Structure 1
Amino acid sequence: MERFIRIGVVTAWPEEDWHSKRLLAACARRGEAVVIDPSAMAAGVGAEGVGVSLGTMRMEEVDAFVLARGLGREGDPDAQFEIYRAMEGAGAVVVNRIEPLLAAQDKFRSSWLLVRAGVPTPPAAVAQAPVGAEHALERLGESVVKPLAGSLGEGVERVRPDRAGRDRVRERAGRDGAVYLQAYVPHPGRDLRVFVVGGTTRAAMVRHAPPGEWRTNVGGGGRVEAVECPAAVRAVAEAAAAALELDYAGVDLVLGDEGPTVIEVNGNPSWQGILEATGLDMAEAIAEHVLARALRRRKTSDHIVRERTGATHG
């Protein structure tokens, strides 16, 4: 009889975090869902390779992992990142993988990965010194200044290439050690969030900025509504997720005269707004994708075992 599928949801907040709870419930409908605390994980290296302990289980006892909230309450983030890399190197199914997650978190890396893949995205720059930030603003023109890493619209502001703007980017570079600037793409107070899972668009919504505001973040008061996603938008969003090698992603786009432009790619996106707008729970799509990957891996592993057993008995 075929063994059940066990999916590990990596999170230190299984009860408090809305997304973790949704993923646990969705995974439990497809097999056994277990909570894995990131700070309880440990790894060792020996003659046989890398072994990863998940607290009460071993890595080999779990078919696939979802990094819902990959940093623990305690422990060391760098150690946790390295354990995820070790798991991936040993062949574990990890969704999303740590390198794509870090790439999506890093605004500048996201920009150059998108450009390299031919995905339309605004010109951008990163500078460490105040004078470099000022020169970048002059080159780009009106820009959006963002922290190099971050989300939810925190630390995001528009600046113009005037005296006030130059002073502001110099101040941000001096204060933060580095500053990321992205050329501002005009939009009529709204943008698109497209949710991509397994390379396919699963849902989309329009986000409307609050009155007097240009930022559309739902956490900042943005209003959402469902939208039928045009084929051109779907293609660009899916290409953006592929460029960053993300199993699932929230892709933010602006529609302009020349078509869709990717503003940002989120590797650990919220889908509360998508659920509110469309009634679609992206936890179900993610869990289905993880299940499919786990089943493919099991089929491949079983095939290898049969080949080795046949070769031995032959």
Structure 2
Amino acid sequence: MEALIIGEDTAWPIPALLARAGFAVDALMTTPAIQNSRFVRNVHITSGTRLPDQADQLIRTRGKPYDLTVASEDFTLWRIAEWERHRGRVSHCLPLVPGADRRVIHSKIGLSHALTDAGVPTPPFALAQDWEGAQRAARRLGYPVLLKKDCSEGGRGTFLCRNDEDVLRNRARFTETLLVQKYITGDEIDLSAIFLQGDLVHFSYSRFEKRISTFGPSSVRSFLPSNAAPRHVFQTLSTIGRALGIHGLTNITAIAPADGSDFQYFEVDLRPNVWADHSRYLGEDAAERIAAWYKERRVLAPAADAQATAYKPVRLANIARLSLLEIALNRHQARRHWRDPDAKLLHSILLGKAVNFFAPLGRLCVPLNMRPGVRRHLIAARLLPH
């Protein structure tokens, strides 16, 4: 089996996960840091604008598509989808089965419609082209609401509005059609899943404990085994995989409403996140489940006695999301992840974080005549592109 990782991110921890599942892993990336991964067979470095063309050329040279493709972030998915639209042909680079609906790619509006069409519970929503339309929609849905830009990530482009005045204060945001989505009080749940040919193969079950910003990525989560999830989660995730035709790793988020009703799904990104391999700390190895599907088409189903078992949450941090101070002080047992299977790649990410943090100080302290030498060292360490 062969897999291709495409994108502008480092893609940690995906190379190690795929290698454990039995894949030979190639990478087409814009960042040289991926060269630090010992699990990548071939590395191709290119620019962001050339990613789709280079991926198409790579697959054409091979003469066949990869068994699995992974986009490292949303913008790469959008680039590939736009490339397909302009070229009028399929690229074989998206994590979708042939003929699958492309409207869910990097589009909150498209996803909301697709989930509704599939009968998947999702927060009530409307579209607004201006602040007056947003106010009317918000009154109809009932405050509070979230205003969301259609194509945004990491919590950027999401604004909480509790009344008409809040909408008015955000009137400058209406440079495009915005999604007006009912804000539901409850716990945010990560159900990031792996689908192969639409089959549910694996998912992780965790609650957000700490975020980098208000609506941004999480840095600490409480994990439970997948069998601790309500049974309707298995059924709903299976519906999502089949309805959207997913063949790959996803980032799925839902709200567990405070009133105890069924989860409301609002995020299905067709790419993994940095938590993709954390379920192995609970004895649930995504790599083993991927390998089992390829060997005997085994799909994921809840254990018969799952709901009768008492499970204790496991609190885990993601070292790539923690601050340098938290890592230095070993907050949340951060350094337990230091001996990661792909340690060299992880360490290059953390070193890059340190370089970015100290860059302003470096510009003040490093003499002009020494800066070219410092840059050469950073390039040699694969922290900067050539």
TM-score (norm 2): 0.56
Q: Return closer, same or farther for 1:94/1:26 CA change in 2, 3 Å cut-off.
A: farther
The residue number in structure 2 matching 1:312 is none
Structure 1: distance between partners of 2:224 and 2:132: 43
Q: Does the CA-based 8 Å contact 1:42-1:53 persist in structure 2? A: yes
Which residue of the partner structure matches residue 241 of structure 2?
241
Q: 1:140 to 1:169 in 2, by over 3 A?
A: farther
Q: Pairwise mapping of residues 25-44 of structure 1 onto structure 2 (< 5 A)?
A: 25-26=19-20, 29-30=22-23, 32-36=24-28, 39=50, 42=53
1:11 is matched with which residue: 6, 10, 19? 6
| Helix, strand or coil at the partner of 1:167 | helix
Q: In structure 1, what is the equivalent of residue 383 of structure 2?
A: none
Corresponding residue for 2:149? 147
Q: Choose from 45, 52, 58 the match for 1:54.
A: 58
Assess, with a 3 A threshold, how the Cα gap between structure 1 residues 150 and 201 changes in structure 2: closer, same or farther.
farther
Contact 1:207 1:224 in 2 (8 A): yes
Contact 1:100 1:246 in 2 (8 A): no
The question of 1:183 aligning with 2:182 is answered yes
For residue 83 of structure 1, report the CA deviation from its aligned partner. Answer: 8.7
1:260 aligned to which of 263, 270, 284: 263
Query: Which digits, 9 at most, give the CA deviation of each residue in 1:69-120, with x for residues without a partner?
Result: 48999xx7566445997346xxx58533696565142111111111111111
Closer/same/farther in 2, CA of residues 159 and 167 from structure 1, 3 Å limit: same
The sequence identity of aligned pairs, in percent, is 19
For each residue in 1:2-48, what CA deviation from the matched residue of structure 2 results, as whole angstroms up to 9, or x when unmatched?
Answer: xxx4x24042558x331453365346x34x433345736649xxxxx
Where do 1:76-95 residues align within 5 Å?
A: 80-82=83-85, 86-87=89-90, 95=95
* Alignment correspondent of 2:158: 156
CA distance in 1, matches of 2:128, 2:75: 31
Aligned equivalents of 1:292 and 1:93: distance in 2? Answer: 25
2:349 is matched with none
Give the distance between the partners of 2:153 and 2:289, measured in 1 at CA: 23
Q: Contact 1:11–1:20 at 8 Å: present in 2 too?
A: no
Counterpart residue number, 2:222: 224
Structure 1 spans left out of the alignment, 5+ residues: 44-51, 294-314
Shift of 1:181: 1.6
Aligned residues of 2:205 and 2:224 also touching (Cα < 8 A): yes
- C-alpha distance in structure 1 between counterparts of 2:62 and 2:85, whole Å: 14
Partner of 1:197: 195
Cα distance in 1 for residues equivalent to 2:286 and 2:102:
18
Aligned mates of 2:295, 2:27 — CA distance in 1: 16
Compute the displacement of 1:232 (Å). Answer: 1.0
Distance in structure 2 (CA, Å) of the matches to 1:223 and 1:208? 5
Letter in 1 for 2:27: V
**CA RMSD, Structure 1 to Structure 2 (Å):** 3.9
Shift of 1:274: 5.5
Tell me which residue corresponds to 2:305: none
The 8 Å contact of residues 68 and 95 in structure 2, kept in 1 or not, is answered as: yes
TM-score by length of 1: 0.67
Spell out, residue by residue over 1:203-234, the C-alpha distance to the aligned partner (whole angstroms, 9 max, x if none): 322223439x875x5x3444232242221111
Contact 2:74 2:106 in 1 (8 A): no
| Matched position secondary structure for 2:116 | helix
Partner of 1:306: none
How many Å separate the matches in 1 of 2:170 and 2:242?
A: 32
CA offsets per residue over residues 224-273 of structure 1, 9 Å max, x none?
32242221111112212333222243322223333222122121131526
Aligned residues: 265
| Unpaired stretches in structure 2, ≥5 consecutive residues | 29-43, 298-386
Once the two structures are TM-superposed, the CA of residue 150 in structure 1 deviates from its matched residue by 2.4
Q: CA deviation at 1:172?
A: 2.1
Which secondary structure state, in structure 2, belongs to the residue aligned with residue 58 of structure 1?
helix
